[in-house]
Amino acid sequence: MLVRPMISGWEIPRISSINSQESRHLLSLPVPGLSGDLHQDLGRSALIVDITGSLYGDEARDEFLTDNIRKAFLEGEPVDFVADIVNESELEQVLIESLHLEENPAHPNQFTYQIRLREYTEPPEPAT
């Protein structure tokens, strides 16, 4: 079953590409007399999702900016996110890390956007 990418219940319009990036924190430790290095795995990094798309017309641009993504970006709070590309990753909430918007006079009435989402992890409870 296909899952339409959604941020906090809002369906992201006209996506041209969506990709995810996962990585691990590896510490490289040189050891005297050892050919090569010893590596220690410090766990995985937060998952990153980049979404790129475009909209046409002033009404679509204004709705995108005022009613949806910019509000969530400015609040800086974690939001729910679902998409097929992160289906097996157990990703539930994200922070909107960056929002890039562009209007190009060479393409009138076209508006392109790039959204970067970063996996949100609930901070641990303070020690008592």
pLDDT mean over 78-97? 84
Confidence check: pLDDT of 1 > 60 = no
Helical segments of the chain, H only: 58-63, 69-75
Confidence check: pLDDT of 6 > 60 = yes
* Per-residue model confidence (pLDDT) at position 2: 63
* Per-residue model confidence (pLDDT) at position 4: 79
Residue 117: closest CA among 71, 49, 20, 34 = 49
pTM summary value? 0.82
pLDDT mean over 53-62? 86
